[in-house]
Structure 1
Amino acid sequence: MQVTHEARGAVIALRGELDFESVVQLEEAGATELARGRDAGPVVVDCAALSFCDSSGVGTLLRLFQELAAQQRVLRLGAVPHSVVRLFTQTGLDQVFAVYKDVDEALTAGTRQRDGVAAHVDEPPRPKGRQVI
């Protein structure tokens, strides 16, 4: 796992498996980002090198999402493998997590220029696929 910071937000790059044995690293990275406070901007989790994610990984991502939301910050996921997207869809978490095709798109999402200053405004994830009537 590698964490980088740039003007548009923080990026936590995951590698390998996100499971019971490895979630502690994501928890530590998340705690560090939370300590930076509400003005630190969005947190993007780069999943391009993620090969597997189990329920403990999903739970850790969900807790980080909730903790960031409490600070009025957002969690975005970039380059999520198809198998993980399928897991999110099956569990309904595709309605919770904002998933983008890559990290750059995730970093620039919800950003608009206003008087030369970027303002972050995330919209709730749009429903995909099925609708409940």
Structure 2
Amino acid sequence: MFSVQVAQEERGVVLVLRGELDFDSMVQLDEAGQQALAQAPDAGPVVADCAALAFCDSSGIGALLRLMQRLAEQDRVLRLAGVPAPVARLFAVTGLDQIFEVYPDRDRALAVGRERRDIVTVDSDEPAQPRERQNS
């Protein structure tokens, strides 16, 4: 079962993801993303709080990437926060940790400001830090 709640906070829009994000539930994320996109561009970053996300497959990743692209068209950013270890491993294996901005928790993701950081890594004890983009 999957659910997503959308909340406008002082520093940005937060999508709280719970459960399993897969083919059957990605439409819920797409709908929540539309709500986030409807917010004014000065509403701040959009943060997907993944702390309660139990599972994410390729369909869920696709939904996150689509949301990130749609936000970029509005000159806005998507940040992921509290990504659980199994999902973080999936991102690392697929190289998505080089694409998504990932933060240890929602507060840190919202605290960064409105500008887009290049690429970030997460160390469990330290705030996310920019990392140089690798050229292939």
Given the two structures, how large is their TM-score scaled by the length of structure 2? 0.83
Q: Is the 8 A contact 1:17 1:51 kept in 2?
A: yes
Percent identity, please. Answer: 59
Q: Does 1:91 align with 2:94?
A: yes
Aligned to 1:9: 12
Larger radius of gyration: 1
Instruction: State how far apart, in whole Å, the 2-side matches of 1:37 and 1:89 are.
Output: 32
Which of 62, 66, 88 is matched with 2:65 structurally? 62
Shift of 1:4: 1.0
Structure 1: 4+ residue segments shifted above 4 A: none
Shift of 1:122: 2.3
Instruction: State how far apart, in whole Å, the 2-side matches of 1:36 and 1:11 are.
Output: 11
Shift of 1:97: 0.2
Aligned to 1:114: none
Which of 118, 121, 125 is matched with 1:124 structurally? 118
Given the two structures, how large is their TM-score scaled by the length of structure 1? 0.85
Shift of 1:132: 6.4
Aligned to 2:128: none
Q: What's the Cα RMSD here? A: 2.0
Q: Is the 8 A contact 2:16 2:50 kept in 1?
A: yes
User: Which amino acid in structure 1 is aligned with residue 20 of structure 2?
Assistant: E
Unaligned runs of 5+ in 2: 122-130
Secondary structure in 2 aligned to 1:83? helix
Shift of 1:37: 3.6
Unaligned runs of 5+ in 1: 112-119
